[in-house]
Amino acid sequence: MAIEKSTRLPGSTLPISSHPPPRRQPRAQRFILGGLALISVAYLAASHFDALPETVPAWQPDHQERFKAACVQPDPIFPSKDEELDKLQGFMETEAFRNASIARLSGAVKVKSESFDDLGVIGEDSRWDVFYDFQAYLKATFPLIHEKLLVETVNSHGLLYTWKGTDESLKPNLLMAHQDTVPVPPETVGAWTYPPW
């Protein structure tokens, strides 16, 4: 590309080109070429791994074995037969359990637990106070959880429930959830079939 030394950008010592920039390829064409380049690189990379089996149609008898060799998966673990677990499973499939779960969830989402990007300090910004209402709802709805489990509050509104098992040598299991909901812009409320809260 030819550069004219006498032509410079205002306030700059860098020269600018005297020729128009080259025409770019259309976006779709760049996308296709980029995709082909990516496929080529992936193919070349895959062809250098001896552990990957050659492609085998699904109808061939050894397809599953070849797939297992390429993508090792641990065997599933099933709980031992337990009469109490069977009773629990049966109870969870009842209409009474389903209806109770629906009632609890619908009660939880009625608490207007919106969070905002510009929330101020807890105790000064009253928009935080709704989370006390949500904690009260959880305590009233799940009294045995709050009686039997260790319940700790983290940073005023974070709730940590610890259910200790009988074998402390086993690894713990962590389940996480959030209490807040996305704010509903007031101008959209009229478009809702039912009020958001």
Q: What is the pLDDT of residues 2-16, one digit of tens each?
A: 444 445 545 545 555
Q: What is the mean pLDDT of residues 148-161?
A: 94
54 belongs to a structural domain:
yes
187 belongs to a structural domain:
no
What DSSP state is assigned to residue 81?
A: P
195, 112 Cβ separation under 8 angstroms: no
> Is 70 exceeded by the pLDDT of residue 196?
yes
Q: What is the mean pLDDT of the chain?
A: 78
Of 134, 138, 124, which Cα lies nearest the Cα of 180?
Answer: 134
142 belongs to a structural domain:
no
Count of domains in the chain? 1
> Is 50 exceeded by the pLDDT of residue 140?
yes
Element (H, E) at 143: helix 143-148
- What is the per-residue pLDDT across 49-79, written as a single tens digit (0 to 9) for each? 544 455 555 556 666 677 667 777 778 887 7
Q: Which residues pair with 161 in a beta bridge?
A: 151
Q: Please enumerate in sequence order all residues whose Cβ is within 8 A of that of 195, keeping only pairs 6 or more positions apart, or say none.
A: 189
Give the pair of three-digit tokens for residue 20: 């128009």
> Is 80 exceeded by the pLDDT of residue 1?
no
- What is the per-residue pLDDT across 33-52, written as a single tens digit (0 to 9) for each? 666 666 666 665 555 554 44
55 belongs to a structural domain:
yes
> Is 50 exceeded by the pLDDT of residue 149?
yes
Q: Does the global pTM surpass 0.75?
A: no
1 belongs to a structural domain:
no
CA-to-CA distance for 191 and 171, rounded, in angstroms? 48
57 belongs to a structural domain:
yes
Q: Which domain holds residue 65?
A: 38-73
